[in-house]
Structure 1
């Protein structure tokens, strides 16, 4: 058990801090003897907001500074939105715990006081995954990229720059803004990003983190394993519109995935079930099956990009 202050690293945004506080609250509840100190920092991904992630280096830009602080011993653990983490993590900085999952789905947010989306006004989307699925639902609607924290995006929406936004339900809930949700997309409407709604706790290899045991949710771990294996098998980076969502029922996992092939602008979706102990294999197998379906043209749809 630690006999010193544990320094917990987080991005400095309101959402990141709120999420990190959730993890710290769980640690305090189960280990009141552990003293925690929040250490925030601005990552490269937070600083560069005028370019899309695929143009500036991908999701790794949200973890680079925190990884460096962990390696140098300036913090003892870091907390991330799992969906913002690269699919490959350094062996020396393993993911130690996965939080209980928040709402994994995306939602449509409208300007304050507006009851319906005027489809002649652009929807703000932060990535191709949402864009592909939004265009399937609404046809050839104008879609405009958007970056920045939740409050920045909402301010742009309310000022008239956008007619609607697509955001993660869990992020809005964690900063007390669930009332802004106009419509929650079902799994059939929009498959979430792998890991969406799950918080990941990262630390240094070989150290004693037994005090994190209660922070790790076994269901979230199974879901994360299947979803990330699916994306990793398809070489999905930050700019790739690959989506995955795992549902655990008893001893089985049902995985739903979307594979998008960029040069052709087409995609394919599918599902597969396996035992929970085979979560990683499930993700890899579904990925290979969807890739095969793409190659044979079976069930392929136009992605509209």
Structure 2
């Protein structure tokens, strides 16, 4: 019997759910048997360190570096990621071989019926610079407190009274069967993180077999939108400290890219929108130049490296 196709993943309930989504998609696409795919759990630094913001301890690479090592050492054939947690610049030795169809891109507010309904001076738990800045823009009275951990950890912190409310990605809640938790925040109120709601699968660039197998489960429309959002991040030279929301949508042959850059306190911000061909590399670059040209200094200093 040939060796099983090994899918590497983090060990959180959401990460394992997403790895099983990839597993099921591969089995369906290739008419494989159940034992043709194996899920390999890799513990990451981002999972181990829960008491500090990612930006303080190494950024998004904390989610990917151990999976990268396992992939490049041949311990796994592919690695599954929440694309919003993948750093913008990736090593040339790995390639994004597949992106699954995108789920709900919105954030969900847990603890109140709306942002307006939060009490004066309410404490909101998040570790996201984007969410913190967007909330401070909408409600300067809110107190932002650090929330790290997986979905259950954050919900437990909320239940314990460590904050009055929190925000979680709708996609993650839905994948965990938590459809009834929280209320969605419209994207015209809070633009999501770039690539939010998308699951990506990376393989070694030189592993033609793995790349071809994974191509069968790629969702081209989601890939086009996610790549545009990530190209915008690259053009902005954004890092894990940079508060930025972005969302690309595809309507026929037209891709529309919206973005917002904010200062850390949310009081300065700039918004933009561009439309063009789905894979036009100039579109994100034009948008980045326009946003940075119009951005106040308190915003601009958080971008462009």
Q: TM-score, normalised by structure 1?
A: 0.90
Alpha-carbon distance, 1:263 to partner: 10
1:263–1:178: structure 2 CA closer, same or farther, 3 Å change rule? Answer: closer
The answer for the alignment partner of 1:191 in structure 2 is 191
Q: After the TM superposition, list the runs of 4 or more consecutive aligned residues in structure 1 that deviate by more than 6 angstroms.
A: none
Conserved? CA contact 2:54–2:60, under 8 Å: yes
Q: Distance in 1 between matches of 2:233 and 2:140?
A: 26
1:195–1:264: structure 2 CA closer, same or farther, 3 Å change rule? Answer: closer
Alpha-carbon distance, 1:91 to partner: 0.7
Conserved? CA contact 1:109–1:164, under 8 Å: yes
The answer for the alignment partner of 2:181 in structure 1 is 180
1:158–1:93: structure 2 CA closer, same or farther, 3 Å change rule? Answer: same
The answer for the alignment partner of 1:277 in structure 2 is 279
Alpha-carbon distance, 1:277 to partner: 3.0
The answer for the alignment partner of 1:133 in structure 2 is 134
The alignment of Structure 1 onto Structure 2 pairs a total of residues equal to 294
The answer for the alignment partner of 1:102 in structure 2 is 103
Q: Distance in 1 between matches of 2:274 and 2:88?
A: 21
Q: Which runs of 5+ in 2 are unaligned?
A: none
1:245 maps to 2:260? no
1:93–1:106: structure 2 CA closer, same or farther, 3 Å change rule? Answer: same
1:132-172 Cα offsets, whole Å, 9 max, x none, are: 11122223211112100100000111121111111100011
1:56–1:213: structure 2 CA closer, same or farther, 3 Å change rule? Answer: same
Alpha-carbon distance, 1:265 to partner: 6.5
Q: Distance in 1 between matches of 2:55 and 2:297?
A: 28
The answer for the alignment partner of 2:256 in structure 1 is 254
Q: Which runs of 5+ in 1 are unaligned?
A: none
Q: Distance in 2 between matches of 1:267 and 1:11?
A: 34
The answer for the alignment partner of 1:236 in structure 2 is 238
Conserved? CA contact 1:76–1:203, under 8 Å: yes
Alpha-carbon distance, 1:64 to partner: 0.6
Conserved? CA contact 1:98–1:198, under 8 Å: yes
1:231 alignment partner, SS class: helix
Q: CA RMSD in A?
A: 2.3
1:17 maps to 2:12? no
Q: Distance in 2 between matches of 1:247 and 1:106?
A: 17
Q: TM-score, normalised by structure 2?
A: 0.90
Q: Which aligned pairs between 1:1-305 and structure 2 lie closer than 5 A?
A: 3-33=2-32, 35-110=36-111, 117-181=118-182, 183-207=183-207, 208=209, 209-261=211-263, 266-278=268-280, 280-294=281-295
1:154–1:19: structure 2 CA closer, same or farther, 3 Å change rule? Answer: same
Conserved? CA contact 1:96–1:202, under 8 Å: yes
Alpha-carbon distance, 1:127 to partner: 1.0
1:140–1:118: structure 2 CA closer, same or farther, 3 Å change rule? Answer: closer
